Amino acid sequence: MTKPVTPVDMKKALLRGLCAATLMALIGFVPVGISAAGDSKTWSVAVHIEYPDGFVYEHAFATGVPTSDVPSILAACNGAHRFGSAVRYHCFPIPE
């Protein structure tokens, strides 16, 4: 015999579904942005870093990146600066 579904069980199930939907949406943003940029064959991946004193640093992390490699290069770039004094840190693709 199964027990009745409680509000706690429903909250857990809804939270799992919400987390899964959020993760899928985030994964879909990079390919959508890449495909929306047009027929670019190669990309540059840039890094943007902001420090507590207001200093902003932007630099090319990689250039000449084929479209198929952009997601892995973005992942490597975003994982390159896990620790440190940066306030904001993100990487983004730029069509060449």
Q: Which residues are CB-contacts of 67 (< 8 A; sequence separation ≥ 6)?
A: 34, 40, 41, 42, 43
Burial of 71 (0-12, 13-18, 19+ CB in 10 A): middle
What is the average pLDDT value for the chain, to the nearest integer?
75
Q: Note the pLDDT tens digit of each residue in 4-47.
A: 767 776 666 666 655 455 555 555 555 555 555 556 589 999 98
56, β-bridge pairs:
50
Confidence check: pLDDT of 70 > 60: yes
CA atoms of 50 and 87, how far apart (whole Å) = 6
Q: How high is the pLDDT of residue 19?
A: 47
Residue 17 backbone dihedrals phi, psi, to 5 degrees = -65, -40
Q: How high is the pLDDT of residue 93?
A: 92
Q: What is the mean pLDDT of residues 80-95?
A: 79
